[in-house]
A = this chain, B = another copy of it.
Amino acid sequence: MISKNNPGVEMYQWAKDLYPICRSITGAGVRETLSYIGNILPGLKIHEVASGTQVFDWTVPNEWSIREAFVKDEFGNKVIDFKKHNLHVVGYSVPVDEIMNLDELQAHLHSIPSQPDAIPYVTSYYSPRWGFCLTHNERLKLKTGNYHVYIDSTIDAGSLTYGELVIPGDSNEEIFLSTYVCHPSMANNELSGPCVTTYLAKWLSELKSRRYTYRIIFIPETIGSITYLSKNLTHLKRHVIAGFNVTCIGDDRAYSYLPSRNGRTLSDQAALHVLKHLAPNFKKYSFLDRGSDERQYCAPGVDLPIASIMRSKYCDYPEYHTSLDDLTFISPSGLEGGYSAIQKTIAVIEGNLIPQLNVICEPQLGKRGLYPLLSSKDRDSNVKIMMNVLAYCDGTNTLLDIAEIIHENMEVVVKIYQSLKNHGLVFEVTKS
């Protein structure tokens, strides 16, 4: 049972509000989505990058606008209508207004025979074409005859739009969160990402203090991350110590982890620790299974420490990239679980200092009320954990290293560190 005002309920409402918008990698849908998020996160700054701008090996494409799209049969019935579902039109379709027979039309249709009730999601960003997507069952009903195909779209010079929020912390070292806002009406592989990221930003903004600075971006996938990197690579390489690509994080089926290319960054270590304790059966993917913006963030020469914590991973659930990835596929509890996993991981990184013992040999815990004064056969397990934490406060291990060595949850270890620090027994080693 999820009560109202819970993070999950709030995120799910955002997803519902954002679901109908027809997003693509550029255009009105992205701007409308960022405007909605900006109402929740007042600090969100909107950037526009002009079409034609060279970004590394790529060029920012022209902006796509679509107003109407349908296929009418000879009797004037709209057999396919973009108004009913924005997946019905191939993304970046060029305008068309023609009469053609069914054979000619078929060459422009996309459906999935093995999923006859799903409208597939198809795009053609970098090659001018037009097309329609529909369920295979609808397609089979099309009869011989002439059809009026109509797409009222434009692909003109404009700009690529993205949102950026920086939440300052005590250090200028940064934790980087990236999510994308470029898919039309799909829920897990689109809206779960920006909704969870927005809630994380809200939580971070409201913290009394933060060790690290947070840089959070809402971008179109691939071309957006490449564009962002082309403008910020030097800064990111200097400051980012950890980060996550936030996607596919709203359903209830699974928890998933996909490493950075390096595989042993702080992001990886923290994510693995949290998932091991939160969801021991989580699915561990290889970097070879990647498919989102970590492709850019971990590319040779970029090499940012970006890992992914997900629920059901893209490409690995049947509803992926179809109309079946809708609001019934995600849920308040799914979103809340995903949020919680990343939130705990960030908390692990925030708390991950290097402790050092203030005394030589074990401190006398008894005189501080931290150890039982009557010694008998049984040992107290909380005392044992405290002794184990102490045993590794040698100025080389981080608290997360210690949590792993002694097989305890980081949350427990951080609490013990605080208690020991309050007794003056440990201090934080400052990096030189």
Which residues on A are within 8 Å of B, measured CB to CB?
56-58, 90, 110, 112, 120-127, 129, 222, 225-226, 229-230, 233, 261, 287-288, 290-291, 295-296, 298-303, 315, 320-322, 356-357, 359-364, 366-367, 373-377, 379, 387-388, 390-395, 406-407
Contact = CB atoms under 8 A, between A and B. Distances in A.
B374 A301 contact: no
Contact of A301 (B112, B357, B366): B357
Given A58-B364, A364-B57, A129 B374 contact: yes
A322 to B, nearest CB: 7
A127 B300 contact: no
26 contacts: A56-B359, A58-B361, A90-B374, A110-B376, A112-B377, A124-B373, A126-B364, A126-B366, A126-B367, A129-B374, A229-B360, A230-B360, A230-B361, A233-B360, A287-B391, A288-B407, A295-B362, A296-B362, A298-B391, A299-B357, A300-B356, A300-B357, A300-B393, A301-B357, A301-B360, A321-B376
B127 A374 contact: yes
A299 B110 CA distance: 66
B124 A361 contact: no
A230 B361 CA distance: 9
Given A58-B361, A288-B407, A296-B361, 15 more contacts: A56-B361, A112-B377, A121-B376, A122-B374, A122-B375, A123-B374, A123-B375, A127-B366, A222-B362, A225-B361, A230-B361, A261-B392, A288-B406, A299-B361, A300-B391
Contacts of A125: 375
A244 to B, nearest CB: 18
Nearest to A363: B57
A301 B379 contact: no
Given A300-B391, A321-B376, A57 B124 contact: no
A374 B229 contact: no
Contacts of A320: 377
Contact of A299 (B299, B302, B391): B391
Contacts of A112: 377
B395 A300 contact: yes
A209 B363 CA distance: 40
Given A379-B315, A406-B288, A299 B122 contact: no
Contacts of A233: 360
A233 B359 CA distance: 13
A374 B123 CA distance: 6
A363 to B, nearest CB: 5
A349 B125 CA distance: 41
A261 B393 CA distance: 12
The 7 residue pairs across chains A and B that have the minimum distance between CB atoms: A300-B394, A127-B373, A57-B359, A321-B377, A57-B363, A296-B361, A122-B376
A356 B395 CA distance: 38
